[in-house]
Structure 1
């Protein structure tokens, strides 16, 4: 993907180099409980399945019912988001710069799409962290994968995840990395449109199986929104970029991850969709370029 000449975003902060420990103590709850509150709802999809399963076993019930905007957790001082700090954060390495350029591209794209609907787009923030960090939704740990926190409207990213995407999940390429950022920004779009709080409220009132099904639709829509972003930047795509995205989407399907991790698939526990579904909705966004085509909640939608 050709973004070398693109600006970097000013909406960036940096927690790298700050030591927040392992994410267990210091939050008033201890252990995994605070992690569940913020992460399960809006992460990219690779690290959280194990957390979801373990959380259900430890705490009982539906871990998804724990999340939502009213569950903000204590955190340290938020990293400053200003032009000077953003420039420094984006210049740390090539992965940081590329992530900042992708974020800037999503800002321009969604601002245009919102304007076409008579709405104003408020950009998401991007916070870089390494291994352990803090977010408005609680602890940030690399094992969770990238995620969006609706409490502070920021995307949290440890760029070492890109290496894992390539080496562990066989999804190399710059477009696969861009898909990571665009998917999380897709959750921010959902937040601005009121979709996330509505789904959260619904999940509190239904069974674990039904809550998971709603979550799948949330994640597939974020995939579709990522595709919409790509479609509106088609002039910057290289040959093979779409294939990179499809490969990444396949690699992070719930069925593929569960089969690799535990040798069996449990459809009722799916929270992000199968490989086929993730590929389908990403491609739908790429083919249409229209966010209106991303209604995974519509009656009869194949989500």
Structure 2
């Protein structure tokens, strides 16, 4: 039976990657999509440069700065937990191919075998750079790297292979929404450094208005999990695997 493998992976995440709460921080509320996070447990100062419209070079510099920021954040969480952390390789390109094949239409993907995050500079980002949306390419894919390091990707794959079509879709949603939640955890510390061009509430509204994705699930649920990670500031908030189906469809 393969389910205990996922339970073990989630135990690592819930117990080992959760920062000790500060004396001033209470337990955050779980419901709703509030615009304000709880008292932050940490602040991460990262130098994330401006983006110039039409400049692929500035977009590449932005992505690389975001990668350094995400690397510092997750390396710190793993070190505090006594876990081994290895950074992913990061490739930022204007081409269409990557170490794991053709880059998907959304412009970013994680290659687990190669432990590589691949980001393609897209034309719409060049023409109209939406800073928070571009930053999310790194934050979300780094979430998949955390899943790889903690065994979640292996556990999901073991469940996925024998599953029915409908069950596979739900497993995909649970995986992607957990990566969204991990991105929210990162934002809880790094959002000020990212200097988003929207408020947190506006960003969540934009996420909820996005198109439905069979791989990722309903936008409103993606917004819910991202906000949950942001409000809690802890990977312990990101157990999408035991969440009700209505929260991950």
TM-score in terms of structure 2 length: 0.71
1:148 alignment partner in structure 2: 110
SS at match of 2:75: helix
Give CA-to-partner distance per residue, 1:224-251, whole Å, 9 cap, x none.
1011101012442547342453244234
CA 1:177–1:3: 2 relative to 1, 3 Å: farther
Q: Is the 8 A contact 2:204 2:223 kept in 1?
A: yes
CA 1:144–1:237: 2 relative to 1, 3 Å: closer
SS at match of 1:152: coil
Query: How far, CA to CA, are the matches of 2:87 and 2:124 in structure 1?
Result: 23
Query: How far, CA to CA, are the matches of 2:59 and 2:118 in structure 1?
Result: 14
Give CA-to-partner distance per residue, 1:77-103, whole Å, 9 cap, x none.
xxxxxxxxxxxxxx9611111100110
Q: Is the 8 A contact 1:175 1:241 kept in 2?
A: no
SS at match of 1:224: helix
TM-score in terms of structure 1 length: 0.59
Deviation, structure 1 residue 159 = 1.3
Query: How far, CA to CA, are the matches of 1:203 and 1:221 in structure 2?
Result: 16
1:218 alignment partner in structure 2: 175
1:250 aligned onto 2:194 = no
| RMSD across aligned positions (CA) | 2.7
Q: Is the 8 A contact 1:253 1:273 kept in 2?
A: no
Q: Is the 8 A contact 2:172 2:216 kept in 1?
A: yes
SS at match of 1:283: helix
Query: How far, CA to CA, are the matches of 1:144 and 1:6 in structure 2?
Result: 22
Deviation, structure 1 residue 163 = 1.7
Deviation, structure 1 residue 134 = 2.9
| More RCO (CA 8 Å, sep 6+) | 2
Where do 1:119-134 residues align within 5 Å?
119-134=83-98
User: How many correspondences in the alignment?
Assistant: 198
Q: Which stretches in structure 1 are left out of the alignment for 5+ residues?
A: 8-90, 258-269
1:99 alignment partner in structure 2: 63
Q: Which stretches in structure 2 are left out of the alignment for 5+ residues?
A: 1-43, 50-54
Q: Is the 8 A contact 2:185 2:235 kept in 1?
A: yes
